Amino acid sequence: MSELVTTKKLADHDGFYSDLLNAHKGLDAADSHALNARLVLILANHVGDRATLKQALDLARAEEESL
């Protein structure tokens, strides 16, 4: 099992965020949700370790609940 890396590794956070927003341009809510789902599945396949993915899900849920 790999540990989830939570330290910042992405060199250009703002650039990625801009790319993400651009990918959603012109999409309605349903298509936007579908894009997010496809992106999650593509990245999950890249990670390839279910335990690490579970850590990410738990962290994302905990951060959502703390808002």
Q: Where are the domains of the chain?
A: 28-67
pTM of structure: 0.84
Place of tokens 């590794």: 9
pLDDT in tens, 20-66: 999 999 999 999 999 999 999 999 999 999 999 999 999 999 977 77
Q: Which of 3, 6, 2 is nearest to 63 (CA)?
A: 6
Residue 11 token pair: 């060199």
